[in-house]
Amino acid sequence: MHLDQLLTSLALITVAGVVIMYASDTFESASSYLGRNMAPGIKGATINAAGSSMPELLTTTVFLFVYNDLDGFSAGVATAAGSAVFNGLIIPALCIFVVAIWGTKKDGVETKVRYIEVDSRTVLRDGIWLVISEVMLIVFLGDTTLTWVAGAFLLACYVGYFTHLMIHNRRHGANGQDEGQGESAGDSDEIHSEPRSKLRSLLTFDFNSLFFGGRPYTTGSAWVVLSAAVLVLGAACLLLAEAVIGSAHALNIPTYFTAVVLAAAATSVPDTVLSVKDARNGLYDDAVSNALGSNIFDIAVSLGLPLFAYSVVFGEVSLSAATGASAADVQILRIVLLWVTVTVISLFLIGRKVGLGKATLMLLIYIAWMTWIADSAFDLGIFPS
């Protein structure tokens, strides 16, 4: 083990995670304005999920295109799938613990909460599409090679999910406003920056304050802020990929294993922050649909889009030529991911009320997952091979 290289890599991962958190917050504020007319549950599963999952998409793209070998591909799969496991277990558990300890704050009123309850239709809607995307992943990773067809089918899955949400949105209405009313409402309701110094705005990547003085968004300023945030996220994800590879070299293990833990956790920071904020505000449907919708985005888009583009440019990806992390490791990951999804959906549907007991169970499952990863990486012999 190279301790100095490991500590440097961990420091860089921390820096990348902080940058991702601030830049994703800026991305989310701009994207929320652009999607201001969507119903809450729809917004959480699309705009919020896509915004908070942008790091996974960019990190997977970096692994595939910058490190365009099989190790890079397995790290890309590990980042997206590992993030999905984190989202499915840690985020709902944290939301429950936060509201149980601190309660909710809605319209300035603090309320003590012992459990959260989510609309079963929201859980079923997002859960079914998530299972479909994961079954697709299982089928495609079962082949010895991956082509653009796999990426196209995964993308088509997200198109189907998005279409379903849009139909639901039209049927139930967003806020009872037309386009013109939404513009004026957005000026008063959307979150915009308080006046800040230029240095603070630069350090926190608050581009609305930096470029527009923190004024309420317009469509034009929202797109400028969104574009600047994506550029910063891309640079942070490149740094993250380098640091994850460096940590793998320091530990003398395949990049797959550091990606599934470190890259997945760093890229999941925006999802976590956003869902906890929603839970504190009493928006439980948005908190859960963001986690589930983010997972659909992670699997169908964060993997599907880079895989489709990579296959078109460089050709098929051969899983049989795997080095370091074996193809079996990637295959087991997809099974674990599906099992976690079914378990979490069941916990939300059985009994409806989700309290500290179920949250603790989610944390224990994640601890078992992390133990299995450590056992696989360092051959500790904890689990039977």
What type of residue is 80? Answer: A
pLDDT at position 174: 47
Q: Return the structure tokens found at 280.
A: 């504190």
pLDDT digit string, tens, across residues 199-250:
888 888 999 999 998 889 998 999 999 899 989 998 998 899 889 989 988 9
Structure letter (DSSP) for residue 141: H
Over residues 28-50, the mean pLDDT reads 71
pLDDT grade for 187, boundaries at 50, 70 and 90: very low
Q: By three-state DSSP, how is residue 326 classified?
A: coil
Over residues 268-278, the mean pLDDT reads 83
* Residue 276, pLDDT above cutoff 90: no
Q: Return the structure tokens found at 317.
A: 């990806």
Looking at per-residue pLDDT, the higher value among 290 and 150 belongs to 150
pLDDT grade for 63, boundaries at 50, 70 and 90: confident
Which single residue is written with the structure tokens 């309660």? 103
* Residue 147, pLDDT above cutoff 60: yes
pLDDT at position 68: 66
Among 3-7, 156-160, 167-171, 271-275, which stretch is predicted with the lowest mean pLDDT?
Answer: 167-171
Burial of 294 (0-12, 13-18, 19+ CB in 10 A): buried
CATH no. of 3-378? 1.20.1420.30
Task: Identify which of 39-53, 232-246, 286-300 has the greatest average pLDDT.
Answer: 232-246
Q: What are phi and psi of 109, to 5 degrees?
A: -105, 125
* Residue 183, pLDDT above cutoff 80: no
pLDDT at position 207: 92
Q: By three-state DSSP, how is residue 353 classified?
A: strand
pLDDT at position 347: 86
Residue ranges of domains in the chain? 3-378
pLDDT at position 284: 82
Burial of 130 (0-12, 13-18, 19+ CB in 10 A): buried
Give the C-alpha separation, 22 to 34, whole Å.
19
